[in-house]
């Protein structure tokens, strides 16, 4: 037996391991093709993007902030284009770009506060691309300060203040920053890399942080409907189970795959039962019958758009609609890094198409020939159906999403997706 050679199939972990022996370009390409081949998907994307951008910052050649920004932008847009179905990638790129701008301006401010601050103010992009952005409220204590994202939040607050006064028509590329001292490149590099580490930490801890709010959201005796529980939802429920006695109804079971020996979500159910929480597996068509009995519906989002709409795994929309009709609260678990400063595109609302074999076996010849099978694997949920967005910074409502976006993304970078068309 050769147990050591478990797998040849490349994964994100094997990619990250290989970073050190690889040229930067090779790493980026490997990731791009992992994304194209769907070997990295879903929640892994954010982590992968942060890792690859860290490599870009560490390995690519740059002499000033501008070059660094363009390196990150070009690498980021290549990665984002490889997987247009994963908007999270763009978010992380924007976060990193904002981080670099912050670090750069911090450096300059330290060097020569007065003169640089003036140019900084002029250079920053106009508020035009984001009309629905709320007027910057100066003294709103950002939740992220509490959650430990403090470093960049303070910077972004500064910028928000500055932006308010400017009406410069200049966009994104921020020319004045190019005056940053080459001598500080080294320092900047390490600071940016530290910053990316923090973003990675945030990504890694987000699930736990969200789970921290579970006992507030779930009350004893609740009937909680979890639609296709993701890892985030699982953590949330397990954490709640340690404090509360309630009942979980697991809905949206996928059709059993070939050779599956275990009942769906067996591991989750075992954990919950161990903690004394009852679980019920519910076939999809039984959903409506149970909705009146349910106290709240919980699922996780793949992305949250700035209008409050959600990109979710297919099927969630039915659960959300049903809950809405019965006036049951719908709670969406979504870490802040999944919040996109953009509106859903036409393609998002049509949903991504998956492999038709989910519905019809390829072996079923007549059906393969006769049918056009569209297996949508994502849904778009309009914002009206959602009651609470539970982020790692705490529960939010739709009306506060804009300020979260403003706290985390720079206006210069919000148009990041516009660069996607270029090559």
CB atoms inside a 10 Å sphere around CB 371: 12
Nearest-approach distance from CB 376 to another protein, in angstroms: 11
CB of 315 to another protein, least distance (A): 19
Long-range Cβ contact pairs of 217-222 (< 8 A, separation 24 or more): 217/296, 217/331, 217/388, 217/390, 217/395, 218/244, 218/246, 218/296, 219/244, 219/246, 219/295, 220/244, 220/245, 220/246, 221/245, 221/246, 222/246, 222/247, 222/295, 222/296
152 vs 337: CA distance, rounded Å: 14
Helix (H) or strand (E) holding 34: helix 24-36
Q: Phi-psi region for residue 137, left (φ > 0), alpha (ψ -120 to 50) or beta? A: beta
Q: Which is nearer to another protein, 118 or 353 (CB)?
A: 353
Residues 331/388, Cβ–Cβ less than 8 Å: yes
Phi and psi, residue 339, nearest 5°? -85, 120
Pick the closer one to another protein by CB: 220 or 365.
365
Q: Which is nearer to another protein, 41 or 219 (CB)?
A: 41
- Our CB check for another protein shows the closer of 132 and 257 to be 257
At what angle are helices 44-59 and 88-111 packed, to 10 degrees?
Answer: 40
Instruction: Residue 296: name the closest of 384, 206, 388 by CA.
Output: 388
Q: How far is the CB of 93 from another protein (least distance, A)?
A: 19
Tell me the C-alpha to C-alpha distance, in Å, between residue 384 and each of 6, 40, 151, 307: 47, 31, 34, 10
What whole-number distance in Å separates Cα of residue 311 and Cα of residue 342?
Answer: 12
How many angstroms separate the CA atoms of 52 and 33, rounded? 13
Least distance (Å) between residue 52 CB and another protein: 13
Closer residue to another protein (CB): 86 or 407: 86
- Closest to another protein by CB, 39 or 60: 39
Task: Report in angstroms how near the CB of residue 264 gets to another protein at its nearest.
Answer: 17
Q: How far is the CB of 37 from another protein (least distance, A)?
A: 5
What are the CB-based long-range contacts (under 8 Å, 24+) for 240-245?
240/211, 240/214, 240/215, 241/271, 241/272, 241/275, 241/276, 241/277, 242/275, 243/214, 243/215, 244/214, 244/215, 244/218, 244/219, 244/220, 244/277, 245/220, 245/221, 245/276, 245/277
Nearer to another protein, 114 or 366 (CB): 366
380-to-138, 162, 414 alpha-carbon distances in Å: 34, 35, 21
**SS3 at position 122:** helix
Nearer to another protein by Cβ, of 10 and 329: the residue is 10
Name the minimum Å distance from CB 74 to another protein.
15
Question: Which residues make up the interface to another protein (CB under 8 A)?
Answer: 1-2, 4-10, 23, 25-26, 28-30, 33, 36-39, 82, 84, 257-258, 347, 350, 353-357, 361-366, 368-369, 372-375, 421, 423
Instruction: Tell me how far, at minimum, the Cβ of 369 lies from another protein, in Å.
Output: 6
Least distance to another protein, CB of residue 8, Å: 3
In whole angstroms, how close is the CB of 247 to another protein at the nearest point? 34
Residue 5 or residue 261: which is nearer to another protein going by CB?
Answer: 5
> Of 314 and 396, which CB lies nearer to another protein in the complex structure?
314
The distance of closest approach from Cβ of residue 417 to another protein in the complex, given in angstroms and rounded to an integer, is 14
Toward another protein, which CB reaches closer, 286 or 354?
A: 354
H or E segment at 144? helix 143-147
Angle at which helix 24-36 crosses helix 44-59, to 10 degrees, equals 160
């Amino acid at each position: 037996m050769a147990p050591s050679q478990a797998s040849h199939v490349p994964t994100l972990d094997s990619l990250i391991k290989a970073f050190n022996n690889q040229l930067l370009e090779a790493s980026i390409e490997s990731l791009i093709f992992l994304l194209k081949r769907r070997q990295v998907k879903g929640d892994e994307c954010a982590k992968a993007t942060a890792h690859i951008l860290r490599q870009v910052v560490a390995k690519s050649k740059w002499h000033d902030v501008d070059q660094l920004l363009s390196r990150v932008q070009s690498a980021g847009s290549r990665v984002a284009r490889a997987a247009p179905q994963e908007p999270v990638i763009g978010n992380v790129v924007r976060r990193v770009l904002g981080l670099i701008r912050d670090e750069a301006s911090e450096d300059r401010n330290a060097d020569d506060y007065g003169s640089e601050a003036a140019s900084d103010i002029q250079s920053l992009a106009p508020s035009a691309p984001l009309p629905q952005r709320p007027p910057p409220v100066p003294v709103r204590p950002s939740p992220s300060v509490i959650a430990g994202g403090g470093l960049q939040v303070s910077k972004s607050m500064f910028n928000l203040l500055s932006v308010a006064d400017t009406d410069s028509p200049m966009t994104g590329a921020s020319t004045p920053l190019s005056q940053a001292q080459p001598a500080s490149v080294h320092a900047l590099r390490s600071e940016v890399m530290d910053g990316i580490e923090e973003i990675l930490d945030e990504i890694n801890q987000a699930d736990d942080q969200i789970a921290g709010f579970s006992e507030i959201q779930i009350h004893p005796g609740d009937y909680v409907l979890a639609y296709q529980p993701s890892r985030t939802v699982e953590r949330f429920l397990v954490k709640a189970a340690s404090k509360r006695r309630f009942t979980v109804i697991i809905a949206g079971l996928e059709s059993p795959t070939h050779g599956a020996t275990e009942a769906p979500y067996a591991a989750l159910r075992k954990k919950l039962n161990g903690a004394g929480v009852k679980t019920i597996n519910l076939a999809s068509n039984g959903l409506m019958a149970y909705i009146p009995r349910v106290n709240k519906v919980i699922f996780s989002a793949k992305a949250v758009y700035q209008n409050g709409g959600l990109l979710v795994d297919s099927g969630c929309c039915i659960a959300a609609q049903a809950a809405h009709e019965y006036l049951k609260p719908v709670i969406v678990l979504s870490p802040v890094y999944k919040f996109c400063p953009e509106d859903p595109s036409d393609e998002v609302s049509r949903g991504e198409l998956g492999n038709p074999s989910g519905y019809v076996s390829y072996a079923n010849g007549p059906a393969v020939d006769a049918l056009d099978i569209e297996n949508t694997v994502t849904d778009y949920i309009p914002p009206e159906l959602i009651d609470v967005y539970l982020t790692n910074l705490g529960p939010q409502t739709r009306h506060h999403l804009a300020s979260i976006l403003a706290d985390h993304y720079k206006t210069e970078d919000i148009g990041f997706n516009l660069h996607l068309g270029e090559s």
